Amino acid sequence: MNKFYALLLLLFSTSVQATEFKQCVHLLHRASFGLDSTHLNRCLQQADYKASVSDLMLRPRNFDSIKAPKFAENILRKPKKNSAQIKTERKVYRAELHKGRGALKNGWFKEMLITDDPFLEKMVLFWHNHFTSSLQKVKQPALIYQQHQLIRKYALGNFAELTHAIIEDPAMLIYLDNQANKKSEPNENLARELLELFTLGEGNYTDNDVKEMARALTGYSLGKNLQFKFKKRIHNNSQKQLFGQKGDFNAHDMLDIILAQEATSIFIVHKLWLEFIGYHPDAKEVKRLAKVFRQNHYEIFPLMTALLNSPFFTDAQVRGTMFKSPIEIIIGTLRRFNYLSFDPQTGVRYAIRLGQNLFDPPNVKGWPKGKTWINANTLLLRKTFLNRLTREQAMQQISNQLFKSPAITGTLEEQMIKTLLPLPACMEPATNSFEALQDILQHPLYQLK
């Protein structure tokens, strides 16, 4: 009997340990920016996978204490057309805009680079690609910053609250032209994207629903200081109807009706599935997760807990089958080697060349993602970037990056492969560890997560 239990214990302990390491690799690739020594060790130290997920997701978060950076304090005033010094004023205005834009993008990049809360940052990226706006159109860095802070606050908070807040967000109102949405002349842009891209998804509403929502959104506009202002005079306060309900609804009431539809929860879960699990969402599992979402009153945290613990996420077949986005490959590599002093502006520029311009998605649908990240040009650029990076001084101290853990065995090279690639790989033996590192970063699997 003792022998039996001993065997069971042995089996249990080895199987838990082995699963833990590979599952940590997968979890951190998908829900973080890849492995970094702090997070890998934390992940491995937890009692089981569920606890590892919890540890990654749970961090003390306090958003109230964040002070706005200088560029974000004020709205930049466009010089008046009849101004005597229009030329100089215009120059100054453009310079300020340019500075503010740079500060925003570099700031976000830096935040992702040094963060202790990479899971939150992944969620912030996701929600920015969901509730899209662009600096190009909105222009004011202060307003984009305001939206960014809003998204950050609710990224792991409540989706319903986030959506309610976003329809009064100045950057969003500008981006989707809602200032031009008046009772006399409705502009359907915000209403349409709200239904199509932000909540229900195509096929779950009619053109008439868009019209009703647009009517409800009339007057949701901005004051002279570019902050939210409800303009009663241009608001259409007639009866509205949506999904069989009729009444004196304002935009928030309409939104509540939309959020009450099962389709909304399914649409959001579907999107999160594509973001974290990859392809082929399973209809039944999506429904189950959508139910979790609704039962928790649209709290994102319990949904993500369920998703990251879903057998569809932990399935070994899923590992290493998604493409790393430009930000993921740049930030991920830098974090892996603890290269936190890397110039954010350079990082932002590489990401732009690779197709991911922070705060400037190509259109309201967001970055196209998936396969479109990789073509002959971008793949070449990624590899060139990685090659250049490995030759930098700061990257050459790889021996310091060795993870001292019983879970990772083998030669330095084997350890590097295990902690850098999402899947096991065989490689030609290199002459030295530096060459091995270069080879690993050039390996096609390094592009995947």
Residue type for 325, please?
A: S
Task: Give me the DSSP letters along 268-322.
Answer: HHHHHHHHHT-S---HHHHHHHHHHHHHTTTBHHHHHHHHHHSHHHH-GGGTT-S
The residue among 76 and 379 lying less far from another protein, judged by its C-beta, is: 379
Residue type for 112, please?
A: M
Q: Does 325 bind another protein (CB under 8 A)?
A: no
- Closest separation in Å from C-beta 444 to another protein: 4
Among 11, 16, 260, 380, which residue interacts with another protein (rule: CB under 8 A)? 380
Among 363, 393, 400, 431, which residue interacts with another protein (rule: CB under 8 A)? 363
Which of the residues 160 through 219 are near another protein (CB under 8 A)? none
Q: Does 444 bind another protein (CB under 8 A)?
A: yes
Closest CA to 291 of 269, 314, 315: 269
Q: What is the torsional sign of CA 4, 5, 6, 9?
A: positive
Among 176, 200, 277, 322, which residue interacts with another protein (rule: CB under 8 A)? 322
CA 248 to CA 70: how far, in whole Å?
A: 42
Q: Does 429 bind another protein (CB under 8 A)?
A: yes
The residue among 311 and 429 lying less far from another protein, judged by its C-beta, is: 429
Select from 55-63, 100-108, 205-213, 364-372 the region that touches another protein (CB under 8 A). 364-372
Q: Does 280 bind another protein (CB under 8 A)?
A: no
Residue pair 57/308 in contact (Cβ under 8 Å)? The answer is yes
Q: Does 374 bind another protein (CB under 8 A)?
A: yes
- Both structure tokens of 402: 């060795």
CA 426 to CA 375: how far, in whole Å?
A: 25
Among 13, 227, 345, 372, which residue interacts with another protein (rule: CB under 8 A)? 372
Among 206, 245, 384, 411, which residue interacts with another protein (rule: CB under 8 A)? 384
- Closest separation in Å from C-beta 178 to another protein: 17
- Closest separation in Å from C-beta 120 to another protein: 26
Which of the residues 8 through 67 are near another protein (CB under 8 A)? none
In 315-443, alpha helices (H): 326-336, 344-353, 376-390, 412-420, 433-442
- Both structure tokens of 216: 């409800």
The residue among 14 and 387 lying less far from another protein, judged by its C-beta, is: 387
Show Cβ contacts of residue 368 under 8 Å, excluding neighbours closer than 6 positions: 362
Residue type for 86, please?
A: I
Among 60, 202, 426, 431, which residue interacts with another protein (rule: CB under 8 A)? 426
Chain contacts with another protein (rule: CB under 8 A): 81, 136-137, 279, 320-323, 362-365, 368, 371-372, 374-377, 379-380, 383-384, 387, 425-429, 442-445, 447-448
